Structure 1
């Protein structure tokens, strides 16, 4: 059975083309969403894999519910296109670290497991702030250096403080879970997820960074919880190697090829066009090692 690769892209299209080349295999269907804000849509192609560039394009905003919306759109498009063994959610600046032969063999060996990585740190305060309070102007979380941007930040901060002082909570009955939103999940789980689409979009309106929460919470409170590949490690559970520093994701750089390919994980994020030597090394490695 084929695999579906679901890619969210908004910039760095040279890297996106390398990513497509690394996934260009007849055993794959690839679904790409290009952000609505992109005016000059790149020409993308594959020779072996079926490539679907979504006609419906969403204006995706950081930390906003539109991030959930685009993920659900990709899952829904791929799910209704064909039945797939696995659905791999990637950004346009991610890369696989293994060949397609390895990837298909790995997921066949662990067929039925859900590769969802759960955060291990204490996050109760973080969850309270992100999804148990109301956030104003959710489409404008990114810092704006203007009077209007300052006004939005001020009002958002005041409203959050008001909720804290007065004890205003939302979603009280939900035990939220969190982790990286980049996952590899089965057809059965995607079908289950899509039955909750309307409820998800309603629950997570006016929240903050809930794309890291909605899928994990739904999975945790379902029978699919018993199918999680690894509860103890967020990286191993998702099969993604992601490097963090000061609560920010660090890009991989030239000279770090050996460190990357010597990990036990299947995917890595993220890369940039300033370090294309590393990207070319990775693409050569995964396409030649069959």
Structure 2
């Protein structure tokens, strides 16, 4: 069983190198997409894994479909290289919580399962805003504080409000689902995702945070729904440990070490170069 690790990175390169070192294993190939806004790429080396730095890069903007486009770059590059048993989508600030022996044994035992997390609360109101309304200037959800940025923000808000007032709603025939974008999936499911690329990019154009919706939606409306490892628990389903505080993802730190290693999940996010103590302890524990 050979695995592909697909990594989206844009900063925190000291931490990224730590992640790569832990994933560096002859049973893995590693693919990295650096945001095209990164002008000078860091030096990344592997001793055992195949390492592939994507040359065709996307200008990734938060909340925009460009995040989905970057994921597709990784999916397609990896699928062209080999037929891997599993494809793990990670960010550059993630870390595994288990050794590669443990991870490979886990996926061998659960071969054929899809590790996709599904959010468990009602998302009707959220999907109405995110993917059934038309969002202007999606490249600028995090607009700067200039006059132009402020005008874009106001115009977007006004047009969204008008769509609610007139009852405009698109994509009505799609049963949308939501969850963490970080997944571990089989080659068969990856092939379906790639086949649907044109439709996906069209459906989610001028939407908001589609990266948390499109894979869950594809999975839910396909035969792969029956293969989801745990459809009733987002963390177990994705095998990702994510800490939250007031709807914000926390950064793991030293005091969280015992909580992290006691987890039965395989990966965690997110970490920070400013809190490297927990990262170093975790790496020592894993190895």
For the aligned pair, the TM-score class normalised by the smaller chain equals: over 0.9
- Equivalent residue for 1:284? 284
Pair 1:220-2:220 in alignment: yes
Name the SS for the 1:274 alignment partner. helix
State how far apart, in whole Å, the 2-side matches of 1:57 and 1:218 are: 24
Match of 1:232 in 2: 232
Equivalent position of 2:262 in the other structure: 262
The answer on 1:140 being equivalent to 2:140 is: yes
Structure 2 residues without counterparts, runs of 5 or longer: none
Structure 2: distance between partners of 1:239 and 1:254: 22
Partner of 1:2: 2
Alignment of 1:183-262 (within 5 A): 183-262=183-262
Task: Quote how far apart the aligned CAs of 1:127 are.
Answer: 0.6
Q: Which residue of 2 aligns with 1:150?
A: 150
Map 1:64-75 onto structure 2 (within 5 A).
64-75=64-75
Contiguous gaps of at least 5 residues in structure 1: none
Q: Any idea what the Cα deviations from partners look like across 1:143-184, whole Å, max 9, x if unmatched?
A: 421111110010000000000000111101101000000000
Task: After superposing the two structures, state which structure 1 stretch, 72-81 or 100-109, moved more.
Answer: 72-81
For residues 74 and 237 of structure 1, the distance between their equivalents in structure 2, rounded to whole angstroms, comes to: 22
> What residue is the counterpart of 1:179 in the other structure?
179
1:64-143 to 2 correspondence within 5 Å?
A: 64-143=64-143
**Structure 1 moving runs of 4+ over 6 Å:** none
Encode CA deviations 1:213-254: one digit per residue, 9 max, x unaligned.
001001100000100000111000000000111111111012
* Structure 2 counterpart SS, 1:255: helix
Query: Structure 2: how far apart are the matches of 1:226 and 1:267?
Result: 23
Q: Which residue is equivalent to 2:47?
A: 47
Q: CA deviation at 1:285?
A: 1.5
Distance in 1 between residues matched to 2:132 and 2:247, nearest whole Å: 21
How do 1:159-174 and structure 2 match up within 5 A?
159-174=159-174
- Other structure's SS at 1:40 match: coil
| TM-score, normalised with respect to structure 1 | 0.98
Residue-pair matches, total: 287
1:192 Cα deviation after fit? 1.1
Q: Using the alignment, how far apart are the partners of 2:145 and 2:210 within structure 1? A: 25
Alpha-carbon separation, structure 2, partners of 1:138 and 1:56: 21
